[in-house]
Structure 1
Amino acid sequence: MTIAVRKLVVAVEEVRHDGGPPLAAPILKGWVACVLANPFAGRHEPDIAPMMDALKPLGLECSTKLLAAMGGDPGRIEAYGKASLVGAAGELEHGALWHVPGGYAMREMLGQALAIVPSMTKVGPMGASLDVPIHHKDAAYVRSHFDGITVTVADAPRADEIMFVLAMTTGGRPHARVGGLTKEAIAKWDGQR
């Protein structure tokens, strides 16, 4: 199966504070969006799973580009997420094709990454916003890292395209103070706590 990519877009935010005092070090929040042709647009295909294998190199390429844009050090990445936006001629399940190639690629790139990669998918028009869920890469219950990032690419996805997204951060929410498990208190190393 041929994967026909139209464009890749990478963005990184440098968060210096969020209404409170300046942070000792800015938190980086970044995303990469890959816009590609949806080979199943306009029809129902019963067996779409083989496309997941075809997407694996793209997952690694996107992870590599995002990590490089965020400074290149996998040890600095604390949280991640993924999402898909399917064009109007596709179906929700087409976005789910990103679960394995996107999630496993980030986990491989980061080395230790025990928590499941949070995800969402939706069908939407060109230029729709996509809110990518984010949580801690080693323990999903680290409350300070419950976050998200909004992704928009003005001309994507076209009706016969899919936009796959990966997101990473170098920290949790600035000034997090609502309690719960902290990253310093991760003890079980089971992906949750």
Structure 2
Amino acid sequence: MELRIRKIVTFAEQVMFEGEKEADPILRVFGVAAVVRNPWAGRGYVEDLKPEIKAFAPKLGKLLTDQIVALAGGADQIEAYGKAAMSGLDCEIEHASALIHTLRFGNYYREALKAKSYLGFTNTRGPANTQINIPLMDRHDTGRRSHYLTVQFSIYDAPADDELIAAFGGASGGRPHHRIGDRYQDLKDIGADIDNPAGL
């Protein structure tokens, strides 16, 4: 079975003002999504998803990584990153999840950015034009709250009922005028151990 990609959709915005104050530098936020036919559609319940994961996840990971790096103007222009999956109404959530929750998908993006953080994610289901939400975090530091952002966009004709969407998101920096501190200061303030915040 071949991976059938119906379309690639890109999203980009430049945030120039936030809260009546000019953003300096301008924050660039971008996303790229592949709309694909669900390879498990029409087959009933499929127990073993691994053959399609191994065949298709690397192709999507490489394609979307190349697309978002080009959209950003280079891997060094991406400070925050994340991923998302969406299932059409006749698809299991597990089907979309299968395409992105594998190192065969996300490692292409992670390695291109030389990133240390894991990729934040969402798994959702919806009809065409459902908003895709891609949570972002700093590519090297999961506790750096300035880079907690969300890429939001929709595709007017996707997903169809038998389609899946796989997506990457990124940003050139953190929120303009971020001023809520970071996880490490909170831990220090409450006297918690950075390596064991729950005290377990």
Q: SS of the residue aligned with 1:28?
A: strand
Task: State the partner residue of 2:37.
Answer: 37
Matched AA of 1:90: C
Instruction: Give 1:2-21 correspondences, 5 Å limit.
Output: 2-21=2-21
Instruction: Give 1:140-151 correspondences, 5 Å limit.
Output: 140-151=142-153
TM-score where L is the length of structure 2? 0.85
Instruction: Give 1:22-101 correspondences, 5 Å limit.
Output: 22-42=22-42, 43-54=44-55, 55-72=57-74, 74-97=75-98, 98-100=100-102, 101=104
Distance (Å, rounded) in 2 between the aligned partners of 1:51 and 1:115: 26
Distance (Å, rounded) in 2 between the aligned partners of 1:38 and 1:21: 45
Distance (Å, rounded) in 2 between the aligned partners of 1:17 and 1:133: 21
Matched AA of 2:111: E
> Is the 1:10–1:32 contact (alpha carbons within 8 Å) kept by the matching residues of 2?
yes
Matched AA of 1:4: R
Shift in Å, 1:23: 2.3
Q: SS of the residue aligned with 1:26?
A: strand
Aligned length: 181
Larger radius of gyration: 2
Q: SS of the residue aligned with 2:17?
A: coil
Q: 1:121 aligns with which of 120, 123, 134?
A: 123
Q: Which runs of 5+ in 1 are unaligned?
A: 183-187, 189-193
Q: SS of the residue aligned with 1:23?
A: strand
Q: CA RMSD in A?
A: 1.6
Shift in Å, 1:89: 1.1
Misfit runs of 4+, over 3 Å:
none
Q: 1:172 aligns with which of 171, 174, 185?
A: 174
Distance (Å, rounded) in 2 between the aligned partners of 1:8 and 1:169: 19
Shift in Å, 1:83: 0.5
Distance (Å, rounded) in 1 between the aligned partners of 2:82 and 2:156: 21
